[in-house]
Amino acid sequence: MDSGTTYDVRARWREAHTHVIVSTDYHHSMTKVPFQTLPSPLPDEPMAVAAAWLAEAWALKAQPNPNAMTLATVGADGRPSARIVLCKDIVLPDGFVRFVSNYESKKGVELAHEPRAAIVLHWDHLHRQVRIEGHVTRSPETESEEYFQTRPWQSRVGAWASSQSRPVDSRDQLIEQLRAAGRRFETPPVGPDAPDDERRDLIVHVPRPSNWGGYRLWADAIELWVEGEYRIHDRARFERVLTPDLNGGFKGTAWQATRLQP
């Protein structure tokens, strides 16, 4: 090995080492929330703990979307894909997580083929992570309908304008699709040059497109993770067996808990 190469390797190591020290200081200075551990004995109802953590993250107002979660699905070819969606609710005691999307999007197509998914919620400043896996079903139409009508009218027009995950020739083309949807439902002007209209009470009738709606992820595994000092985190995985019920949902057995090494 010549001396030039040796020098490069050492320099890189020093850079990397400096970076690690700086990022650790940065990490510690970002939050004053003390480290915690999971309760002992472990809770019987981990979904209730996840719901409480979500509520706490909301109340703290430390991030714009505390309900943002990574949703991982898998394609027919076995290729996984992940993206952020918003968690609308953690519903107890049934133990499912609600989110909404376009049924014809990439995730929608993947879920139609393989109705299992994994989600991850992470609240950095609270030192907490929740991982949930389970079966996915579509929400009842009435629920999707009701929720759609609570959205701002501009978002409802947007749902018609975008064939989510499909190619589009240009941004202009997308904006034209938006305006066309607005014209179709005779809404006030939409698009980047339309005046901002924040009037929530403005009655604008925009029906729900049939390809837009809710999903329920029925949890059969959940991990509660709490960050510990010097990476001695506290983890517990809970599993239960789901059996389909007569209403298109699932009934679960009691949760079995196992503490995991970090």
Instruction: List residues near ligand FMN by CB under 6 A.
Output: 65, 68, 81, 83-86, 99-102, 105-107, 164-165
CB of 97 to ligand FMN, least distance (A): 12
Is the CB of 56 or the CB of 104 nearer to ligand FMN? 104
CB of 112 to ligand FMN, least distance (A): 12
Is the CB of 29 or the CB of 150 nearer to ligand FMN? 150
Packing angle of the helix pair 153-161, 171-184 (nearest 10 deg): 120
CB of 157 to ligand FMN, least distance (A): 16
CB of 67 to ligand FMN, least distance (A): 9
Per-residue HEC secondary structure of the chain comes to: CCHHHHHHHHHHHHHHHHHHHHHHHHHHHCCCCCCCCCCCCCCCCHHHHHHHHHHHHHHHCCCCCCCEEEEEEECCCCCEEEEEEECCEEECCCCEEEEEEECCCHHHHHHHHCCEEEEEEEEHHHCEEEEEEEEEEECCHHHHHHHHHHCCHHHHHHHHHCCCCCCCCCHHHHHHHHHHHHHHCCCCCCCCCCCCCCCCCCCCCCCCCCCEEEEEEEEEEEEEEECCHHHCCEEEEEECCEEECCCCCEEECCCEEEEECC
Is the CB of 83 or the CB of 138 nearer to ligand FMN? 83
Is the CB of 73 or the CB of 187 nearer to ligand FMN? 73
CB of 135 to ligand FMN, least distance (A): 19
CB of 107 to ligand FMN, least distance (A): 4
Is the CB of 86 or the CB of 242 nearer to ligand FMN? 86
Structure tokens at 193: 């040059």
Is the CB of 150 or the CB of 247 nearer to ligand FMN? 150
